[in-house]
């Protein structure tokens, strides 16, 4: 071996993960190394470029950055970087620059991959073991996505412009022109000091066009007659992602930002656009402009394109699940508007419910419809049910046309069993908790993830409070729910290898919903019921479960990472199917994954298995008889 290669080998063997390699392998690596010099301040690799080599610092110092430009790591002699890009799509994920004059050893991608796949100890040291490895994978994805880390106050460019409620529409237009803004907060009274002004509404350019100019109203019209009331607002430390969801959910383009109950700014749709995978906002806007079921059904192409784009842009599973759920809600809302136009106003008030993954904001592109109707207590089936049956049928049929298949279990508002007055829902939920049966436990697993889509949505707060109050201290009910949550186990054999099965078009596949995300959501729900959580989203429930301190230390974060990783494998698989022109599903063949992904997926399933063991220990489901 040449002197230079001997020197390289001597250097490498001083540092992990090279110090565990056999001599023959170490010399093979040394012989493949390309030595590069980088002057201080120069870029080494850029985000998104092809990942060609693994980098080891021989001398000097290197800074590695997140995608948003913030510092991720600083490396000196013996440090290494670039493995994440080599293991994921062969694209650089973390750009790097020389902090000082730096000498690097570049190990070619083919040699790195050979080491990784053929040397278990090397792979483990590079990745970090088990749940720590999974934490690293998930945190890197989160760190690389600004939408999941940026807070709303970073978008505020100026203080809000406010106007008192006794002003005229002309005053509002002049003030907006003078200040160069597209919106004004309307307040009861402006104070120089003391309590914050009480917001009563907001006026936007659009309000002036549609509510003043178009109908030809006098410019002296009170501003209160053209403003939008019932304000939706956000707190200054909420995430940009959460602001986006508020806009999607409420179909608004401006959000007041509050700090200590005082408005400190207004963010507009244009502020969000640069952070957001824009299609989801535009799809929701398009849904509300359609005038027929045929028009709505034509948007399924856009919905799928939106899903694929979010995956391509590295959105997290929570972002994707939330955005797709809001799109699904919007389809329901527009179908309900069309149904009321066709049938006339409802004979009694009602609330249309979303259930399951849509209510949890965890919906993907492959989904069915679970929904129900809560009716006013004055509901009389003989006089009113024909209307609500017709309304529910229009919505369910319309959803099926738009890509949300019928529920095979019949959990739809078109089924008379799931059209009930509020008092009947309260009675049913109480019975399901106090006197659980196999059937009612299945219903609890569906209906206790609920969200109001249309109508008297405040009734849902009543039902959620009832569930929380009744379930929290009911050990028998929790034991029964835990027993049901243990019915679906992770697909791992005795030696922790994958257990595959024939599933649809796949001959050796794992159904990632049935054996992964569903059992994770089930066990998280049990813990959430136990602590009285009112949250619906599994990630939000986990935050409250962790705060309640009912899990062994670190297990809540483990569950978060396992749910995120399994969800993303499922999501990427569906996006891959769409790209290939196949109908997407929930099944994946482990052999189609990289070795790194298989290891991480196995880690996630091990976390699920351990979490189910703890569920069994904590709630003693064997006593649920």
Q: 177-213: per-residue pLDDT in tens?
A: 999 888 999 998 886 666 778 899 999 988 999 999 9
260-273 residue pLDDT tens: 888 888 988 777 66
Per-residue pLDDT tens for 528-586? 999 999 999 999 999 999 999 999 888 898 899 999 999 999 999 999 999 888 899 99
* Confidence bin at 229 (pLDDT 50/70/90): confident
pLDDT at 141: 55
Average pLDDT along the chain: 87
Least confident span in 390-404, 488-502, 521-535, 572-586: 488-502
Pairwise CA distance, residues 54 & 88, whole Å: 13
Whether the per-residue pLDDT at 278 is higher than 50: the answer is: no
Q: The whole model's pTM is what?
A: 0.66
Q: Is the pLDDT of residue 513 over 70?
A: yes
Record the tokens describing residue 501, joined without a space: 């099965």
Residue 367 CA to its chain's centroid (Å): 16
Q: How far apart, in whole angstroms, are the C-alpha atoms of residue 153 and residue 249? A: 20
23 CB burial (10 A radius; 0-12, 13-18, 19+): exposed
Share of the chain above pLDDT 90, in %: 54
| Number of other CB atoms surrounding residue 570 within 10 Å | 24
Other Cβ atoms within 10 Å of 445 Cβ, number: 18
**SS3 (DSSP) at 550:** coil
Q: Which two tokens stand for residue 452?
A: 């109001």
Q: Which helix (H) or strand (E) segment is 182 a member of?
A: none
Q: How far is CA 597 from CA 88, 511, 572, in A?
A: 9, 16, 12
Among 554, 523, 553, residue whose Cα is nearest residue 541: 523
Q: Which two tokens stand for residue 261?
A: 């109950």
Give the rounded percent of residues in the chain with a pLDDT score beyond 70. Answer: 91
> What's the average model confidence in pLDDT over 444-451?
94
Q: How confident is the model at residue 131 (pLDDT cuts 50, 70, 90)?
A: very low
Q: Check if the beta carbon of residue 281 is closer than 8 Å to that of residue 273.
A: yes
* Residue range 343-368: mean pLDDT, rounded: 94
pLDDT classification of 611: cutoffs 50, 70, 90: very high
88-125 tens-digit pLDDT: 778 898 899 998 899 999 999 999 999 988 887 787 67
Domains in the chain, ordered, with CATH?
Answer: 3-127 (2.60.120.10), 154-273 (3.10.580.10), 279-623 (no CATH)
Q: Nearest-CA neighbor of 327 among 395, 249, 254?
A: 249
Q: Which pLDDT tens digit goes with each residue over 294-328?
A: 999 999 988 998 888 888 777 889 889 988 998 99
Nearest to 201 by CA among 182, 228, 163, 166: 228
């Amino acid at each position: 071996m040449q002197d230079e290669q001997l020197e390289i080998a001597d250097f490498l063997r001083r540092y992990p993960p090279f110090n565990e390699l056999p001599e023959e392998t170490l010399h093979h690596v040394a012989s493949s190394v390309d030595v590069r010099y980088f002057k201080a301040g120069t870029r080494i690799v850029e985000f998104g470029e092809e990942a060609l080599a693994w980098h080891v610092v021989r001398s000097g110092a290197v800074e590695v950055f997140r995608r948003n430009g913030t510092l991720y790591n600083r490396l000196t002699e013996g440090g290494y970087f670039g493995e994440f890009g080599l293991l994921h799509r062969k694209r650089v994920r973390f750009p790097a620059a020389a902090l000082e004059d730096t000498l690097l050893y570049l190990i070619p991608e083919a040699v790195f991959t050979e080491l990784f796949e053929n040397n278990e100890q090397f792979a483990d040291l590079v990745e970090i073991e088990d749940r720590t490895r999974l934490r690293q994978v998930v945190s890197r994805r989160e760190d690389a996505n600004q939408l999941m880390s940026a807070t709303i106050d970073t978008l505020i460019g100026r203080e809000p412009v406010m106007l008192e409620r006794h002003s005229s529409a002309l005053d509002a237009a002049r003030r907006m022109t003078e200040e160069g803004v597209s919106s004004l907060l309307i307040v009861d009274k402006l104070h120089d000091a003391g309590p914050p002004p009480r917001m009563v509404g907001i006026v936007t350019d659009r309000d002036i066009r549609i509510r003043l100019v178009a109908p030809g109203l006098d410019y002296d019209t009170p501003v209160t007659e053209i403003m939008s009331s019932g304000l939706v607002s956000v707190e200054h430390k909420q995430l940009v992602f959460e602001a986006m969801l508020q806009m999607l959910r409420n179909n608004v383009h401006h959000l007041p930002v509050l700090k200590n109950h005082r408005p400190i700014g207004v963010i507009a749709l244009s502020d969000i656009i640069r952070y957001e995978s824009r299609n989801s906002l535009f799809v929701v806007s398009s849904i509300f402009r359609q005038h027929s079921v045929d028009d709505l059904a034509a948007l399924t192409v856009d919905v799928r394109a939106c899903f694929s784009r979010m995956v391509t842009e590295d959105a997290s599973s929570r972002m994707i699940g939330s955005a797709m759920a809001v799109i699904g809600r919007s389809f329901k809302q527009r179908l309900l508007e069309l149904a009321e136009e066709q049938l006339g106003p409802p004979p009694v008030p009602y609330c249309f419910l979303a259930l399951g993954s849509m209510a949890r904001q965890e919906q993907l592109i492959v989904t069915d419809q679970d929904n129900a109707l809560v009716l006013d207590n004055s509901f009389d089936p003989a006089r009113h049910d024909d209307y609500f049956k017709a309304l529910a049928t229009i919505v369910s049929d319309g959803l099926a046309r738009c890509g949300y298949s019928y529920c095979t279990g019949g959990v739809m508002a078109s089924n008379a069993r799931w059209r009930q007055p509020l008092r009947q829902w309260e009675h049913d939920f109480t019975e399901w908790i106090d006197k659980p049966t196999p059937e009612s436990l299945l219903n609890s697993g569906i209906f206790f993830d609920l969200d109001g889509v249309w109508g008297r949505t405040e009734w849902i707060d009543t039902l959620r409070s009832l569930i929380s109050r009744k379930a929290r201290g009911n050990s028998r009910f929790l034991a029964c729910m835990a027993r049901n949550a243990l019915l679906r186990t992770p697909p791992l054999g005795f030696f922790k290898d994958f257990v595959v099965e024939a599933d649809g078009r796949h001959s050796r596949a794992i159904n990632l919903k049935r054996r992964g995300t569903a059992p994770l959501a089930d066990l998280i729900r049990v813990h959430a019921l136990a602590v009285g959580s009112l949250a619906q989203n599994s990630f939000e429930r986990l935050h409250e479960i962790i705060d309640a301190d009912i899990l062994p230390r670190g297990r809540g974060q483990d569950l978060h990472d396992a749910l995120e990783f399994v969800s993303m494998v499922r999501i990427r698989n569906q996006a891959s199917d769409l790209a290939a022109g196949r109908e997407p599903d929930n099944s994946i063949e482990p052999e189609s994954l990289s070795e790194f992904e298989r290891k991480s997926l196995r880690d996630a399933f091990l976390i699920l298995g351990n979490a189910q063991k703890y569920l069994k220990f904590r709630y003693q489901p064997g006593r649920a008889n």
